[in-house]
Each structure stands twice: as structure tokens, then as C-alpha cells.
């Protein structure tokens, strides 16, 4: 059993959309199969981190800075809005997202949710 995590203030449906976007991108990056790992963890004693990690094809360094831009896509189908919308949702939650990636190895997206004061609930 994992550690108890503090409460964070989120809109459940919006954060579900973010996680679905990240998971779909991961699955699509693993065209021949692979491993998708999702984990949560305590961050700075009061926040919560969520990590979405895949063993897909990875993102070229030249594209890493563009992946959150509206309409940027490397896929033949799709609008290129998933990560852009996800970033906006996370901004609205005062959360941040980091990405690390290595071509041929996979990508890791880490969301950082700020904690809330205990008396806020």
C-alpha cells in the first residue's frame, strides 16, 4: 500500500482529460507495445506529483519545446491540441508539468499539484 497523499484542489473532469491526453499520447508512441506506468507521489510535504511514463519512441530534442504549442503535432491524424489544452488546464489549477524524453527509450510527463492549507476543506 502506498503512502497517504494530501488533498489537492482539482476539477475532476478537467484533470481526467489531462490524464487521458497523456495516456493516449503514450499509447500511440508505443506502436509495437511497451509499458505505461502511472504513479503518484508526495511532493514537498504538501503537494502531489503524478507521473506518466512510457517506453515509446520518445520525443526528439528539437521538438520538446514545441509539444505544448497549439496545433503542433507529429501525427498524421489529430489536431495537435491535446497537450496545449492540458497545459492550460494545469495552469488554471496552478499546477505545472515537466517532460523528459529520450528517443528510442520513452518519455516521462510529471505533473506537480500544489498542496492546499489543511483548513481549506
79-90 residue pLDDT tens: 889 999 999 999
Query: Is the whole model's pTM more than 0.75, yes or no?
Result: yes
CB 47 within 8 A of CB 6: yes
The number of CA neighbours under 13 Å toward the Cβ of 117 is 2
Q: Is the pLDDT of residue 45 over 70?
A: yes
Over range 63-82, report the average pLDDT. Answer: 87
Mean pLDDT rounded to a whole number for the chain? 92
Nearest CA to 16 among 91, 116, 80, 86? 86
Q: Is the pLDDT of residue 119 over 70?
A: no
- Rounded to whole angstroms, the Cα distance separating 87 from 17 reads 11
Of 3.30.565.10, 3.90.550.10, 1.10.20.60, 3.90.1200.10, the CATH number of 12-120 is 3.30.565.10
Q: Is the pLDDT of residue 55 over 90?
A: yes
Over range 57-69, report the average pLDDT. Answer: 94
Name the residue with higher pLDDT: 1 or 104: 104
**Domain ranges within the chain, ordered by starting residue:** 12-120
Q: Is the pLDDT of residue 78 over 60?
A: yes
Residue with cell 487521458: 20
Amino acid at each position: 500500500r502506498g503512502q497517504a497523499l494530501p488533498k489537492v484542489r482539482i476539477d475532476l473532469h478537467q484533470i481526467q482529460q489531462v490524464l487521458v491526453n497523456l495516456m493516449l499520447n503514450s499509447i500511440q508512441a508505443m506502436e509495437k507495445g511497451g509499458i505505461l506506468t502511472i504513479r503518484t507521489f508526495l511532493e514537498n510535504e504538501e503537494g502531489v506529483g503524478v507521473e506518466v511514463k512510457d517506453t515509446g519512441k520518445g520525443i526528439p530534442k528539437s521538438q520538446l519545446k514545441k509539444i505544448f504549442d497549439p496545433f503542433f503535432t507529429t501525427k498524421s491524424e489529430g489536431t495537435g491540441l491535446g497537450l496545449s489544452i492540458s497545459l492550460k488546464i494545469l495552469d488554471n489549477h496552478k499546477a505545472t508539468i515537466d517532460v523528459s524524453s529520450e528517443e528510442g527509450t520513452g518519455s516521462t510527463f510529471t505533473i506537480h499539484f500544489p498542496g492546499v492549507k489543511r483548513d481549506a476543506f
